[in-house]
Structure 1
Amino acid sequence: MSSVLQTPSATTARTPRVGPAIISLAMGGFGIGVTEFTMMGLLKEVEQGLKITTPEAGNLISAYALGVVVGAPLLAAVGAKLPRKYLALGLMLFFSLANLTSFIAPDYGSMLVSRFAAGLPHGAFFGVAAVIAASLVSPTRRGWAISMVMAGLTVSNVVGVPLATWVGQAYGWRLLFLLVGAIGLLTLGLLWRFVPFQDAHPDASIRRELGALKRLQVWLAILIGIVGFGGFFATYTYIAHTMTGVAGIPSPLLPIVVALYGLGMVAGNIVGGRIADRSVMGTIYRVLPGIAVALVVYAVAVHWPWSAFVMVFVVGAAGSMLVPALQTRLLDASPDAPSLASSLNHAALNVANALGAFLGGVVIAWGWGYVAPAVVGAVLAVLGLAVAVISGLLERKKPLAA
């Protein structure tokens, strides 16, 4: 592994500050998860508050996702010469201010701009956070460290999103952005206090970071994420309709469904980090068919309430197992441009979000029912596995740079 990811000394890697540093980085992921996923549960309130249609409200979610896709490579490359701690601080400050701007946005147009702005630092923050976390531990624990950073995002679906949704419904949807802004400012303090300073790599530059885009293995890893993870979002996007319309679960129980999905994501993220430390590509080879099987079983089990509850947890866990391995794979594929490569994982996952939701909507529009998106997701997981196999075969002929 490149020295780019091993800048701290052995003493630094053993310091007790590693735990608080990773928790601080995970707190940023928690805030990002709250602002990204709570909007889906507050769309009706947003529509009423801004006096807009449902498609227009949906555009606010799309604007955030577009901000992630644009900002991930752009901000990671621009911040290449900054010390990683300062880059993380700058991105979190940007994120906090953008959400506070959403709190005071007076109309639909300004809200659209502020949501796009809030999405810009998303991928770049997770990218640099993953690099920092990986650099604080030994190479054999990188998957675990990255999964702990990602745990902030998954835990937000269990705790932060339900709480923020309740606050928004009970006291006003704009309070969501005030809450997220406060979480961002808290994260700033934690990052400043606990994340150790690391000098920027002496050869770091925008050109060096953008060099990651010249590597086929980087693009293949991105494609694995877009295609393979698209099935996860194809199912998640329409989970409320599936649970109420197919499983017959009453609407008041939907928060339990979402919480189970979130708990599955937490468990899958932790397990995925552990097994990625043993073998990155081995994890990808095993998890993608696991996702396909889980989605096929889900499509059958969702016709009964109790089996539907079980499979919601399983699908959430199976999908999240893939993320730490993909993040680590991108770091391995471009060791001299780690921030950009790592941030591209989150751009890929947001494209997967759009792809999965779109394809799931297509089969529903064709009259195939709310179970069909899960079948589409299983097909996408198999296609993602095919891309992974191609990547592995090419690596045998031309190993990744050490």
Structure 2
Amino acid sequence: MAAQPSAPSPAPVRGNPRLPLLALGAAAFGIGTTEFVIMGLLPQVAGDLHVTIPQAGLLVTGYALSVTFGSPFLAVATARMDRRRALLVLMGVFILGNLMCALAPSYWLLMGARVLTALCHGAFFGLGAVVASALVLPGRKAQAIAMMFAGLTLANVLGVPAGTALGEAMGWRSPFFVVVGIGIAAALALAAFLPRTIEVPPMNLKREAKSLGSPQVMFAMAMSIVSSASLFSVFTYITPILQNVTGISTQGVTMMLLLFGVGLTCGNFLGGWLADWRLMPSVIGIIAVIIPLLASFALTSHAVVPAALTLFVWGVLAFALIAPLQSRVVSEAAKAPNLASTLNQGAFNFGNAIGAWAGGLALTAGLPYADLPFMGATIATAGLALAIASYALDLKTQREASADAAPAAGRP
């Protein structure tokens, strides 16, 4: 199990935490929708703003890079605010950014609006994870984080398909107007249900920076990067894999992606439960199963039913890692969790970018689509090595603590 932080965990707030967690989940739903819905609208955006589709694709890259490198600065900018007010300010940035996206008259103004919107992404999820864990008893912290991240998984299952359909029917700007409405509703829910006092350590930049130097925090962020890289080295190219290798239609791809999204949602809650049970053994076990599963996808991708089953299980396992890794960072940086939690969101997005780049590089070098899952499995092997090393350090720390405690216990 994870080594316990030296400082006691903050006491949970009084009252039922379900409503504030649902409010955090609603905000996560809006943020997830605005991040991914653009992918289904690229041809419309390109045509309306007179750019090429690859140029429109940079709107996705710009968003991810803004999450990775910009969110920590927004987290620092809100450092002196109480955590409730900081979350509301971040939602304000989110609402403004999406309104600018909906009204942007040119490509570069849309890019700027996307970058602005992304600034609140990592900061909100990072701070939201800290707040969610403070709302509940110690044995349910990862499940609380998973409840918030459920909004992100539901965005993939419901928000993105609905937003894409709306964009096709009423123009690409319409989904952004709807997301503005979702953001306003989420902000009102946060204002109504978040406790006035949340026992979270205030951000102290010196203490926060020191927490980042913890070996276990660095291990957790490295695992976040590698797990995301493993996922996106394959998933970025899942449509051509399904069309060219599995041989299914465009409509069939949509159904397969919906099945994958359902798997993500199931995995999110499974990961929260496993992390509260046994965090690091669960992480090790999940990655150990992902490796052969991805390798087998090179074979199962040649037939519809085996491919569908593999995609569903892969979705479950891939997102079962999110809550444990986020919870690990919050736990190991317990004295100063705010910046570390935000940076871990950047780590996930950095892994997304690395995985997509690595997969594209392999395909350009001539690797067949059918063999791309082997790359994902290889990257996941590196993640397994990191997880085992982190757990071994946990066990070493526990043995040393027990050895130090034994002589003290024997003293009269």
TM bracket, shorter-chain basis? over 0.9
Question: What does residue range 307-318 of structure 1 map to in structure 2 within 5 Å?
Answer: 307-318=306-317
Structure 1 residue 87 corresponds to structure 2 residue 86: yes
Counterpart AA for 1:239: I
1:144 matched residue in structure 2: 143
Counterpart AA for 1:275: L
Indicate conservation of the 8 Å contact 2:83/2:200, yes or no: no
Segments of structure 1 that go 5 or more residues without pairing to the other structure are none
1:159 matched residue in structure 2: 158
1:22 matched residue in structure 2: 21
2:392 matched residue in structure 1: 393
1:378 matched residue in structure 2: 377
2:355 matched residue in structure 1: 356
- State the Cα distance separating 1:211 from its structure 2 match: 2.4
1:332 matched residue in structure 2: 331
Q: Hey, what's the Cα distance between the residues in 2 that align with 1:202 and 1:114?
A: 32
- State the Cα distance separating 1:297 from its structure 2 match: 1.8
1:245-288 residue CA offsets vs partner (Å, 9 max, x unmatched): 11011112222111111100000111111010011111111111
Q: Hey, what's the Cα distance between the residues in 2 that align with 1:183 and 1:4?
A: 36
2:178 matched residue in structure 1: 179
2:34 matched residue in structure 1: 35
Q: Hey, what's the Cα distance between the residues in 2 that align with 1:197 and 1:369?
A: 55
1:98 matched residue in structure 2: 97
- State the Cα distance separating 1:114 from its structure 2 match: 1.0
Indicate conservation of the 8 Å contact 2:130/2:200, yes or no: no
Counterpart AA for 1:352: G
2:295 matched residue in structure 1: 296
Corresponding residue SS for 1:42: helix
Indicate conservation of the 8 Å contact 1:227/1:352, yes or no: yes
- State the Cα distance separating 1:292 from its structure 2 match: 1.2
1:168-193 residue CA offsets vs partner (Å, 9 max, x unmatched): 11110111211111111111000001
RMSD: 1.8
1:271-330 residue CA offsets vs partner (Å, 9 max, x unmatched): 111010011111111111111122112221010011111111111111001001101110
- State the Cα distance separating 1:391 from its structure 2 match: 1.9
Q: Hey, what's the Cα distance between the residues in 2 that align with 1:393 and 1:314?
A: 28
Q: Hey, what's the Cα distance between the residues in 2 that align with 1:245 and 1:366?
A: 18
1:188 matched residue in structure 2: 187
2:204 matched residue in structure 1: 205
Question: What does residue range 119-138 of structure 1 map to in structure 2 within 5 Å?
Answer: 119-138=118-137
- State the Cα distance separating 1:397 from its structure 2 match: 3.7
Corresponding residue SS for 2:369: coil
Segments of structure 2 that go 5 or more residues without pairing to the other structure are 402-412
1:135-181 residue CA offsets vs partner (Å, 9 max, x unmatched): 11111111111111100000111111100000011110111211111
Indicate conservation of the 8 Å contact 2:134/2:200, yes or no: no
Q: Hey, what's the Cα distance between the residues in 2 that align with 1:288 and 1:196?
A: 37
1:336-376 residue CA offsets vs partner (Å, 9 max, x unmatched): 11121212221111011111111111121122211233111
Counterpart AA for 2:105: P
1:69 matched residue in structure 2: 68
Counting matched residue pairs gives 396
Given the superposition, is the C-alpha separation of residues 254 and 158 from structure 1 closer, same or farther in structure 2, using an over 3 Å criterion?
Answer: same
- State the Cα distance separating 1:389 from its structure 2 match: 1.7
Percent identity, please. Answer: 37
Structure 1 residue 217 corresponds to structure 2 residue 216: yes
Asked which structure has the greater CA Rg, the reply is 2
Q: Hey, what's the Cα distance between the residues in 1 that align with 2:268 and 2:202?
A: 33
Which stretch shifts more, 209-218 or 190-199? 209-218
Counterpart AA for 1:47: A
- State the Cα distance separating 1:5 from its structure 2 match: 4.7
Counterpart AA for 1:391: S
- State the Cα distance separating 1:231 from its structure 2 match: 1.2
Question: What TM-score, normalized by structure 1, do the two folds share?
Answer: 0.94
